[in-house]
Amino acid sequence: MRQRIFGLIVKELLALFRDKRSRFVVIGPPLIQLIIFGYAATFDVNRVAYAVYDEENSGTSRELLARFEGSRAFRCLGYIHSNGEIAKVIDRKKVLLVIHIGRNFSRNLFASPPARIQVIVDGRNSNTAGILLGYVNQIVEDFNASWLPLHGIKPPAGVLRPRAWYNPNLESRWFIVPGLLATLTLVVSIVTVGLSVAREREIGTLDQLLVTPMRPWEIVLGKVIPGFLVAMGEVTLIFLAAIFWFRIPFVGNLLALYVGLAFFSLAVIGVGLIISSISMTQQQALLGSFFFLSPAIVLSGFSTPLRNMPEVVQWVTLLNPLRFALVVVRRVFLEGAGFAEVWPQYIPMALIASISLLAAWGVFRRRVG
C-alpha cells in the first residue's frame, strides 16, 4: 500500500514539474503577485500633490509650509493667488489638497490664538482624504509644539502623542505582505489541486488508475500529499521573500506559523479535490476554482475588516479557512505570537480540513464508482 501511494505521489509531482505550464503556474504567478501586491497594494499616501494659497507670505507662514515641503507624504505643485483658483485645481485633479493661510495668520498667533489654517481636500476618495487630513493635523501639531515655546506662548495643557504598537511606522506593507503568505498559498493550492483529477479524467489516465489495485482513498491520499508539499513549498518561498526582500520583521514562533498554515493548506486542498472531482474538464475545474477564490478572499479580512461587514456575513466567514489563517500569520509576524496565542485558530481550520477531505473522498468515490 505504501509503495502504491508513494508511486502515485512521485507521479503527481513529476506531472506537475515536468510540464512547463504547470511549473509556471506554481512558481511564476505567486512571485509576480507578491511583487505587485507588495509594492502596489498599499494604504499609505505618498507624494501627494498640493497647492499653497499663502495670503500673508511671512516668515512664520513659510516656516509652517516648509514642514509640508520636507514631508515625504506631500509634493508642492505650486502657489495660487486667488480663491477662484482653488476650485479649478481641485476640480481638474491637479492637486488633492490646498493649504490656505490667511493674511492675519502671524498676528493671530500672537494676539488671539489659535490662528486658523484652512485645508481644502478633494473628498471624492474619502479614504485618501481622511488619511491626508491626519497627516496635515500631525504636521500642524509638530509646528505648534516647536514654535509656541520659542515665542513665549503657553502651549496647550494637553498634547496628544500617538504611538503605533506592533507597527511603529504605520507601514501598510507590514500588514499586507504577511496576508499574502496565506492568500497566495490559497490561490496556488486550489488551482493546482483543483486541476489534478480533472486532468487525469481529460487525458484518460484516470481510468488507468481505477483498474490498478489502488482503492479510492489511496488515490485521494496520493493527490493530497503532493498538493500539501507544493503548498508548504509555496509558503516557504513567500516567507523568505517577505523576510529578505520586503524586510518585514518576523518576531513570532516559526513552528506556530507552519502548523497553522499546514491546517489551512489541508482545508484548501480538500476544497480543491471536491472541485476537481466534480469537474469533467480542466476548464470546468479552473472556473470552479476561481468561483471559490473570489468570495474566499473577499470574506477573509485580507483588506476589509470583518467587523465592518453585516452580522450575517460575519457568520458566513466562519466557514472560510482563510479568515483564520490570516489571523495566524499576522499575529505571528507582527505580534510575536506563539502557540499559546494562536491555537484557537487551529481548531476551526482543522475542522474545515477534516470535513473537506472527507467530502472530497466521498465525492471522488461516488464519481468514479
Asked, for residue 166, whether it belongs to a domain, the answer is no
Specify the range with the lowest mean pLDDT, choosing from 141-145, 246-250, 364-368.
364-368
> 349 and 250, same structural domain?
yes
| Rounded average pLDDT over 341-352 | 94
Q: Is the pLDDT of residue 286 over 60?
A: yes
The CB-based long-range contact list for 129-134 (8 Å cut-off, 24+ gap) reads: 129/96, 131/43, 131/45, 132/45, 132/48, 132/73, 132/96, 132/97
pLDDT at 314 over 60: yes
SS3 52: strand
Residue 198: its H or E element: helix 173-203
Q: Cα separation of 251 and 228, whole Å?
A: 26
Mean pLDDT computed over 326-348? 91
Select, from the ranges 219-223, 238-242, 286-290, the one with the highest average predicted confidence (pLDDT): 238-242
Phi, then psi, of 50 in degrees rounded to 5: -140, 160
Task: Mark which of 84, 118, 150 sits at the end of a domain.
Answer: 150
The predicted structure's pLDDT at residue 239: 92
223 with 342, same domain? yes
Question: What pLDDT digit, counting tens, does each position of 93-136 carry?
Answer: 888 889 998 888 888 777 666 778 888 888 877 667 888 888 88
d(CA 219, CA 191): 18
The per-residue pLDDT for 145 is 78
Across residues 317-339, what is the average pLDDT?
A: 91
Q: Is the peptide bond before 114 cis (omega within 30 degrees of 0)?
A: yes
pLDDT tier, 325 (very low <50, low <70, confident <90, very high otherwise) = very high
> Does 161 map to a domain?
no
Element at 97 (helix H, strand E):
strand 97-101
Distance CA 46, CA 270 (A): 42
Residues 348 and 314 reside in one and the same domain: yes
Q: Where does residue 152 fall: left (phi above 0), alpha (psi -120 to 50 degrees), or beta otherwise?
A: left
pLDDT value of residue 113: 61
Band (pLDDT 50/70/90 cuts) for residue 266 is very high
Q: Quick: pLDDT tens for 125-183.
A: 766 788 888 888 888 888 887 777 776 666 665 555 666 677 777 677 888 888 889 99
Q: Do both 183 and 228 map to the same domain?
A: yes
Instruction: Indicate whether 245 and 325 sit together in one domain.
Output: yes
At residue 54, φ and ψ (nearest 5 deg) are: -105, 100
Averaged pLDDT score across all residues of the chain:
81
Residue 5: the pLDDT is: 65
pLDDT of residue 273: 86
Q: Which of 142, 155, 150, 83 is nearest to 114 (CA)?
A: 155
Kindly state whether residues 217 and 123 are assigned to the same domain. no
CA distance 336 to 333: 6
Torsion angle (degrees, nearest 10) of CA 319, 325, 327, 330: -160
Return the percent helix, strand and coil in the chain, to nearest 5: 70, 5, 25
Identify the domain containing residue 120 by its residue range. Answer: 48-150
Cell of 187: 490561490
Query: Is 297's pLDDT higher than 60?
Result: yes
Residues 142 and 222 occupy one common structural domain: no
- pLDDT value of residue 34: 80
35 plus 53 within the same structural domain: no
Task: Give the Cα separation of 302 and 329 in Å (integer).
Answer: 11
Out of 120, 150, 180, pick the residue that ends a domain. Answer: 150
Domain-embedded: residue 255: yes
